Amino acid sequence: MGSRIDDASWVRCWRLTLTKPEDPLLGGVRDFVIVADCFTLMYPELHVKLLGEVDLALSACPEIESYESIKSSIHRFLASGLKLKHVVSMPRPCCFQLHYASYEAYSILQIEVEHLVAVDGGYRRIYEKPLRARAYVRFPSKYPEKGALWVREKPGKL
């Protein structure tokens, strides 16, 4: 039997491209995480745990929102002084657009952000090299070598 998900945790999850950092309801927010919509639905327990580490989660779906609107929204939040701590997605090529957009938005600012992909009920980290190269990272399920990354072709060539 799964654990009960606290309904209050969903209040702090807002739509990235529809939310403005100056919204009065976001008063007191210091840091945020960007999550793919499908991550929130597939791993609600991990989503709630992640919300315990930050003040706000902003969700987006690169399949229905443009790359430029996602990137400019991330830039707007960073320019307002909020700190981006994590970008979390599922292991799908479309989800990697969140990682690329956020990397482009913050790389000029020289800040460190942890990029995570939800795999097998846990996380795998994406390092900077695939983000710079805009390479899709494939995470085989149940692979023996923890933390290993397999870089494959770019999205669109899959």
Phi, psi at 37, each rounded to 5°:
-50, -45
Whether 19 and 76 have beta carbons less than 8 Å apart is answered as: no
- pLDDT value, residue 142: 53
Please report the domains of the chain, with CATH numbers, ordered by start residue. Answer: 7-151 (3.40.50)
pLDDT surpassing 50 at residue 39:
yes
- pLDDT value, residue 61: 92
Whether 130 and 151 have beta carbons less than 8 Å apart is answered as: yes
pLDDT band at 139 (very low <50, low <70, confident <90, very high): low
Supply the pTM of this predicted model.
Answer: 0.78
Mean pLDDT, to the nearest integer, of 50-79?
91
Whether 48 and 73 have beta carbons less than 8 Å apart is answered as: no
pLDDT surpassing 60 at residue 5:
no
